[in-house]
Amino acid sequence: MNLQNHKNLITEKGFTVIENIFSDEEINKIIHVLENIDTSKETFRKSQDLFAIRQFLKEIPEVKDLIFNENIKTIIKEIFGEKYFAVKSIYFDKPEKSNWYVAYHQDLTISVDKKVDLENFGPWTTKQNQFAVQPPLDILENIYTIRIHLDDTDENNGALKVVPKSHAKGIYRPETINWNVETEEICNVEKGGIMIMKPLTLHGSNRTTNGKKRRVIHIEFSDRKLPEELNWSEKMN
């Protein structure tokens, strides 16, 4: 893997796609675990258009060894840095007939263990006993997201569409996107491939039109210690 090239792409455009990070056998093992979980827990969100598991690595610890294979460990070390750890994880299953689409947005919150009054931290939200807060910009700029694809994904089953270079423009309100200046790129990823992106990259996804599933594991990484008594709620080395 020529990772320097991918590192440059992330710095320049805000994202990159790396294929063949997981073998079919590795992906099938992960899917096997997912097909045998108790889906009634309250951290699981289930609807016709989406099944999601928040705090995924905490809820389904048996996938950890399957996800952090040698390729992923190398990518974390060489592209992100020696001291990076996982801080947030979500599993998304977008079913074959899903009408669920996501408008352009940046990922602006982090998951933390409690609510504390801190300068430059806010607004706050709480979902399913999970505190989330928008931290100062430098913390967001420091995060990397890996999206592991368990299915072939293209524009017909909800591949991410992104605005290249938008990660370098601070907080970028989607309603202010100037399409005379900006471009849109669709990130097709094959089963077993990954997409890496900076959370400030504007991204969204369309409805599914080809009757194919889209299952993605989303994991965010940071190397920052949070101020005072605040902790990452899902910190995992």
Cβ count near 129 (within 10 Å): 10
pLDDT beyond 90 at 171: yes
Report d(CA 237, CA 64) in Å as an integer: 11
**Cis amide prior to 227 (ω within 30 degrees):** no
pLDDT beyond 80 at 15: yes
Q: What number does CATH give the domain 3-222?
A: 2.60.120.620
Q: What is the pLDDT of residues 119-155, one digit of tens each?
A: 999 999 997 778 999 999 999 999 999 999 999 999 9
The pLDDT score that the predictor gives to residue 49 is: 82
CB distance 10 to 165 below 8 Å: no
CB distance 216 to 150 below 8 Å: yes
The pLDDT score that the predictor gives to residue 92 is: 94
Residue 62 in tokens:
């048996």
Which residues are registered as beta bridge partners of 92? 52, 216
Single-letter code of the amino acid located at 53: I
Cβ count near 232 (within 10 Å): 19
What are the residues whose beta carbons fall under 8 Å from the beta carbon of 82, sequence distance 6 or more?
Answer: none
What's the average model confidence in pLDDT over 173-182? 96
For the ranges 49-58, 74-83, 192-201, which has the lowest average pLDDT? 49-58
Q: What is the pLDDT of residues 223-234, one digit of tens each?
A: 999 998 899 999
**Which of the pair, 42 or 145, is modelled with greater confidence?**
145
Residue 177 CB-density burial (10 A; 0-12 exposed, 13-18 middle, 19+ buried): middle
* Strand-strand pairing, 110-112 and 130-133: antiparallel
- DSSP letters, 85-103, are EEEEEEEEEE-TT----EE
Whether this model's pTM surpasses 0.85: yes
Domain boundaries defined on the chain: 3-222
